[in-house]
């Protein structure tokens, strides 16, 4: 079933677990994410970013997620990840997304806050939740996302880490002590398990995983193709579903057991 983002996250923060937000780009990734959640009985967020609009449009993503969520017994949220365009936010809301992220991180801070408030006003009018990026994240390896010039995050990066990640949990503690809204950690890929758990214990209720879904699946497909055996595209597609499911399962187990 499809559910509202904010209730799910408030519940997560209250009970100190995190809901995984997993990026999808096509049928195979959507299927892999929802199958993993179904298998574990774990609610999750299917995330689609405006950067992948060349792969699918909002209506298509909604139709697939809605059809699969309808058949599954777990709560599923359809979230618009990183979106810079006001127009695309409106399109996602109209298509049926249950939450949206406005990414004004490339704007000057004051302007980002102003634009974010505008998005909140229109989204809340129709009961859609909003996530915002006030500050910016650095870019790591294999990331498909833009890196910020000024970095205000607690130390996670978009993509895989180039060295050992240094996550400032003290900053997180201070933020969490001041506000009770659920906090989000971007750049889940490659973050050490213990660090993830510590972040969850200190207020993080949503964790994004994107890069590793793509990276792991592509690497596994490479291995398959190099084996010399030839595959029909339909078989390869099912293999992809399986690889995506493996990554999602790995993270889901960590997120729910902080």
Tell me the CA distances in angstroms from 249 to 28, 41, 100, 115, 253, one per residue in order.
15, 11, 24, 36, 6
Stretch that binds Zn ion, among 18-26, 68-76, 120-128, 185-193 (CB under 5 A): 185-193
* Cβ(166)–Cβ(155) below 8 Å: yes
Helix%, strand%, coil% for the chain, nearest 5: 50, 15, 35
**Which range in 25-33, 56-64, 181-189, 225-233 contacts Zn ion by CB under 5 A?**
181-189
Give least dist CB 216 to Zn ion, A. 18
For 75, the token pair is: 């709560």
Distances in whole angstroms, Cα of residue 172 to Cα of each of 152, 190, 198, 204, 234? 11, 19, 10, 8, 45
What DSSP string runs through 96-151? T-SEEEE--TTS-HHHHHHHHHHHHHHHHHTT-EEEE-SS--EE-BT--SPPPSS-
Task: Work out how close the CB of 186 gets to Zn ion at its nearest, in angstroms, rounded to a whole number.
Answer: 3
Query: Which of the residues 14 through 53 are near Zn ion (CB under 5 A)?
Result: none
Q: What single-letter DSSP state applies at residue 2?
A: B
Query: CB nearest Zn ion: which residue?
Result: 186
Cβ closer to Zn ion: 91 or 186?
186
Q: How many helices (H) and strands (E) are present in the chain, helices listed first?
A: 9, 9
Q: Helix axis angle, 58-71 relative to 27-40, nearest 10°?
A: 30
Alpha-carbon distance 135 to 186, whole Å? 12
Nearer to Zn ion, 25 or 241 (CB): 25
Assess whether 81 carries a catalytic annotation: yes
Residue 79 near Zn ion by CB under 5 A:
no
Per rule CB under 5 A, count of chain residues that contact Zn ion: 1
Does position 84 interact with Zn ion (CB under 5 A)? The reply is no
Three-state secondary-structure class, residue 75 = coil
* Segment interacting with Zn ion, rule: CB under 5 A, options 9-17, 160-168, 184-192, 215-223: 184-192
Q: Give the residue with the Cβ less far from Zn ion, 186 or 206.
A: 186
Q: Which of 4, 81, 103, 168 is catalytic?
A: 81
- Min dist CB 247 to Zn ion, Å, is 16
- Least distance CB 168 / Zn ion (angstroms): 18
**Which residue lies nearer to Zn ion by CB, 13 or 186?**
186
The binding track of 91-110 with respect to Zn ion, each residue x by CB under 5 A or -, is --------------------
We find the least distance from the C-beta atom of residue 159 to Zn ion, in angstroms, to be 10
186 binds Zn ion (CB under 5 A): yes
Which residues of this chain interact with Zn ion, rule CB under 5 A?
A: 186
Q: Which residues are catalytic?
A: 81
């Amino acid at each position: 079933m499809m559910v509202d983002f904010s209730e799910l996250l408030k519940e997560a923060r209250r009970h100190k677990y995190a809901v995984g937000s997993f990026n999808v780009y096509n049928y195979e990734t959507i299927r892999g994410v929802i199958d993993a959640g179904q298998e574990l009985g774990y609610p999750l967020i299917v995330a689609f970013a405006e950067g992948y609009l060349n792969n699918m449009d909002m209506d298509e993503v909604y139709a697939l997620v809605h059809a699969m969520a309808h058949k599954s017994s777990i709560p599923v949220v359809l979230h618009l990840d990183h979106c810079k365009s006001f127009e695309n936010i409106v399109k996602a809301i109209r298509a049926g997304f249950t939450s949206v992220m406005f990414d004004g991180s490339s704007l000057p801070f004051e302007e980002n806050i102003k634009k974010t408030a505008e998005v909140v006003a229109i989204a809340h009018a129709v009961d859609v939740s909003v996530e915002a990026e006030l500050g910016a994240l650095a870019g790591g390896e294999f990331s498909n996302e833009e890196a910020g010039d000024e970095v205000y995050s607690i130390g996670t990066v978009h993509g895989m880490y180039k060295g050992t990640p240094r996550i400032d949990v003290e900053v997180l503690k201070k933020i969490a002590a001041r506000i009770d809204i659920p906090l989000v950690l971007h750049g889940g890929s490659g973050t050490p398990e213990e660090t993830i758990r510590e972040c969850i214990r200190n207020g993080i209720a949503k964790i994004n995983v994107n890069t590793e879904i793509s990276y792991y699946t592509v690497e596994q497909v490479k291995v398959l193709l190099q084996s010399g055996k030839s595959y029909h595209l339909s078989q390869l597609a099912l293999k992809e579903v399986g690889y995506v499911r493996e990554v999602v399962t790995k993270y889901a187990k960590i997120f729910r057991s902080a």
